[in-house]
Structure 1
């Protein structure tokens, strides 16, 4: 999550949706914000205390965290936006990210299908780096009553165009997005990773996202 009181925006960073590029592009605006230093100091203090002080909005916090922590008039004044991604594609991206950078979280499951079954098994013990990508993306966008409270939902599939729209809503000139890191060992089309069983497994687990965001396994 990225907050700028000066530019009045709140970016809700959902994992594996291009958010790292968005954050990097917005860093200059963040550094120009008079509140940047106080926010940085609070973040450092939170870190040094073992995050016992509840003064930091975590990188992948849901929008409800900001709604509950910020004064209502401040929250309402912010342009709140996020990016989402096709759930089937997101799971392929997550698999390659974990295999490349945190292979010890694979749990001995080296191929995508077996890893996905294990990952989405409700009996599996909680592991943070896995569970951030099995949470519903829609949960990052809603309040306690289930109402969507972000003002703009961009799509990973058209990241550059939608980020340009977000910049316009913030009131800044369009910013270039840094190159998105791609896994070099993945096939481009996520559908090649699935059979009928695993595709349906994702469809059931992420039914809420599919209903709200309109994604399908075979896009138009």
Structure 2
């Protein structure tokens, strides 16, 4: 999550949706924001305290965290945005990310299909680094009553165009988006990773995302 008091925006960062590139592109705005420096000190104090003073909005916090913590009028005045991704494609991206950077979390399941079945098994013990991509994307966009409270939902599938729209709303010239954390060993077509059975597993688990965000297995 990225909060800018000067430019009055709140970026809700859903994992594996291009958010690292968006954060990197907007990073320079921090140095122009006089609020950044006290926010940085609060963040460091929070880190040193083991985050027991709740002075920081975590990187992948849901929008409801900001709504509950920030003053109501201030929260309502912010331009709140997020990016989402086709759930089937997101699971392929998550698999490659874990295999590349945290292979110990594969649980001994080296192929995508075996890993996905294990990952979506409701009996599997919870592990945070796996379950960030199990959480519904729409959970990041809604408040406690289930109402979508972000103002703009961009799509990974048209990242550059939607990021330009975000920058226009913020009132800045759109900087170039860097290509962050791209997997070099994955196939371009996510559908090639799936059997009918595993595609249906994702369809069931992410049914609300698919319905609310209007995604399909075949784009």
Query: How high is the TM-score relative to the length of structure 1?
Result: 0.98
Q: 2:206 & 2:10 partners in 1: Cα distance?
A: 25
**Structure-2 residue corresponding to 1:108:** 108
* 1:96 and 2:93 matched: no
**Structure-1 residue corresponding to 2:35:** 35
Give 5+ residue unaligned stretches, structure 2.
none
**Count of aligned positions:** 219
Q: 2:31 & 2:126 partners in 1: Cα distance?
A: 36
**Structure-2 residue corresponding to 1:74:** 74
Deviations 1:98-124 (Å, cap 9, x if unpaired)? Answer: 000100000000000010010011111
SS of 2:3's equivalent?
strand
**Structure-1 residue corresponding to 2:16:** 16
SS of 1:60's equivalent?
coil
Q: CA deviation at 1:94?
A: 0.2
Q: 2:128 & 2:26 partners in 1: Cα distance?
A: 26
Matches within 5 A, 1:203-218: 203-218=203-218
Q: 1:31 & 1:209 partners in 2: Cα distance?
A: 35
Q: CA deviation at 1:32?
A: 1.0
Q: CA deviation at 1:181?
A: 2.9
Give 5+ residue unaligned stretches, structure 1.
none
Runs of 4+, deviation exceeding 4 Å: none
Q: 2:59 & 2:102 partners in 1: Cα distance?
A: 18
**Structure-1 residue corresponding to 2:175:** 175
Q: CA deviation at 1:30?
A: 1.6
**Structure-1 residue corresponding to 2:152:** 152
